[in-house]
Amino acid sequence: MLDLPYTFELNAPGFVPTRYDNHIKRTLTSMKGQYHDISAYEAMLAEGDALLYEVYELARPHESGEVLHGISIVHPGKVGDEYYMTKGHFHTVLETAEIYVCLAGQGVMVMETPEGDWAVEALTPGRVLYVPPRWAHRSVNTGAADLITFFAYPGHAGHDYGTIEQQGFRKLMVERDGLPEIVDNPRWGKGG
Ligand code: PA5
Ligand code: NI
């Protein structure tokens, strides 16, 4: 790795970084069990393995002095009445934070702690979101265009996907009468 200062550009409208190392694509199959409407999920999957979101990563060592960073793009759409979203995760090292800057689109970050707190914050262009240590986080696209965010977090944070995979987040983002609404996750607290 060329270990010198570097720059890259994030240009509208797409904001794909002019330099990146990894391009990760997440499709419907990687979200199995996460959408509450199982029959809507199965029906959609029968039509094809839709691309839900993408991440462009700048590779840095997974060490505490480093800051991992990149761009997340959640495409617009729904599975049943539930908006497209990221898998979501706790950081393996719980006491690590993350910063998001929304570049384009309309959405929310759904968050929760192991202690039972939860929060939903709007992501709109120009808005910065600080996700404190201990807060699991999931981006949800509630709009009609791509939800694009820049993220940065400590190099040693790691991703714990398993905890969320078991029962999801406490809150879901669904469309009701054409508008986004926060509802309780019926699967949460039922032991997966
Ligand atoms: O580190 C982060 O929180 C982001 O880079 C996410 O990894 C990205 O938005 C994709 O979400 P997830 O990792 O939950 O699939
Ligand atoms: Ni994270």
pLDDT at 192 over 90: no
- Cα(98) to ligand 2 centroid in Å equals 6
Q: What pLDDT does residue 3 have?
A: 87
Q: What pLDDT does residue 190 have?
A: 80
Q: What is the pTM of this model?
A: 0.96
- Cα(86) to ligand 1 centroid in Å equals 7
Quick: pLDDT tens for 1-27: 558 999 999 999 999 999 999 999 999
Q: What pLDDT does residue 180 have?
A: 98
- Cα(88) to ligand 2 centroid in Å equals 8
- Cα(47) to ligand 2 centroid in Å equals 31
Looking at the CA of 136, which ligand is closest? 2
Protein residue with least CA distance to atom 14, ligand 1 = 88
Ligand 1 proximity of 72 Cβ (cutoff 6 Å): yes
Quick: pLDDT tens for 88-122: 999 999 999 999 999 999 999 999 999 999 999 99
pLDDT band at 189 (very low <50, low <70, confident <90, very high): confident
Ligand 1 proximity of 88 Cβ (cutoff 6 Å): yes
Q: What pLDDT does residue 1 have?
A: 52
Tokens 């997974």 sit on residue: 62
Q: What pLDDT does residue 59 have?
A: 94
Angle at 19 between CA 18 and CA 21, to 5 degrees: 145
Q: Which helix (H) or strand (E) holds 38?
A: helix 38-47
pLDDT band at 61 (very low <50, low <70, confident <90, very high): very high
Residues 113, 163: contact at Cβ < 8 Å? no
- Locate the ligand 1 atom nearest the alpha carbon of residue 157 and give its number: 1
Quick: pLDDT tens for 122-176: 999 999 999 999 999 999 999 999 999 999 999 999 999 999 999 999 999 999 9
pLDDT band at 58 (very low <50, low <70, confident <90, very high): very high
Q: Which conformational region is residue 119 in: left (phi greater than 0), alpha (psi within -120 to 50 degrees), or beta? A: beta
Ligand 1 proximity of 89 Cβ (cutoff 6 Å): yes
| Out of 84-88, 121-125, 180-184, 187-191, least confident range | 187-191
Q: Two tokens at 57?
A: 């990563």
Q: Two tokens at 29?
A: 């199959």
